[in-house]
Chains A and B, each alone.
Chain A
């Protein structure tokens, strides 16, 4: 490793610093949810249209959140805020529905049982995302 020490994330850090790690995780989920939805919709859409459409919605939400967080700035943060809030509501609603009405969700989606298939990361991710947004918004207005 080089001699240079890393700069500590300054107050202006929007997508820099720890946020960058979060963007990486979001990108992974955008890819995973997108690929899963594509497979489900193209090979067995008729089996559970609602669940597979929700899968596709989840994928779009992850993509939008990833782009919003990665771009940063006021507009990026606003887009990310809407997407991540949708994500939080989605994982809670779909998670609950998948337990209450198992028949409608025969196949795992990213949000089934609060994201159990993905180590509950889908449940933790929006919380971290909102915390990060609040932090960077706070430092932006403080300037």
Chain B
């Protein structure tokens, strides 16, 4: 778990949420930009999961291992589910779904870091 990666994830997630909000505000459907943002976010999350799993395999332990794993793997589903759910929505509110997904990922990334750092004390 690297704080730099968590910051990168947060920046992309918040940007994606802003793009989603923009689409809703100007009454547009989501576009290629939203898809691209989601893909970038998902790649960063996969990198994070790989790094964390390697560290776990190397014997490092976060504060609550079960909860940590739940967040680590659960967060991978959020951008994918958000995008699929938004893509089938033909109105301006598709952007709203992207907002929810982006904010949830940002919160979950920090919660993960918190659990990881807690073990270092």
What residues make up the interface of A, taking CB atoms closer than 8 Å to B? 1-2, 4-9, 13, 16-21, 23-25, 27-28, 31, 35-36, 38-39, 42-43
What residues make up the interface of B, taking CB atoms closer than 8 Å to A? 23, 27-33, 64, 66-67, 70-71, 74, 77-78, 81-82, 85-86, 89-94, 96-97, 99-101, 104
Asked whether, in the complex, the Cβ of A24 is within 8 Å of the Cβ of B101, the reply is: yes
Asked whether, in the complex, the Cβ of A39 is within 8 Å of the Cβ of B67, the reply is: yes
Given the known inter-chain contacts A25-B100, A42-B66, please indicate yes or no for A16 contacting B89, CB distance below 8 A: yes
Given the known inter-chain contacts A2-B29, A31-B74, A43-B66, please indicate yes or no for A24 contacting B90, CB distance below 8 A: no
Q: How far is the CA of A36 from the CA of B8 in the complex (A)?
A: 26
Asked whether, in the complex, the Cβ of A6 is within 8 Å of the Cβ of B29, the reply is: yes
Interface Cβ pair total, 8 Å cutoff: 79
Asked whether, in the complex, the Cβ of B66 is within 8 Å of the Cβ of A16, the reply is: no
Interface residues of B: mostly helix, strand, loop or mixed?
A: helix
Asked whether, in the complex, the Cβ of A39 is within 8 Å of the Cβ of B94, the reply is: no
Question: Which residues of B lie under 8 Å from residue A25 when comparing CB positions?
Answer: 100
Extra pairs beyond A6-B90, A21-B96, A21-B97 (12, CB < 8 Å): A2-B28, A4-B29, A6-B27, A7-B90, A7-B91, A13-B91, A17-B93, A20-B86, A31-B74, A36-B67, A38-B70, A39-B64
Asked whether, in the complex, the Cβ of B70 is within 8 Å of the Cβ of A39, the reply is: yes
Q: How far is the CA of A27 from the CA of B80 in the complex (A)?
A: 13
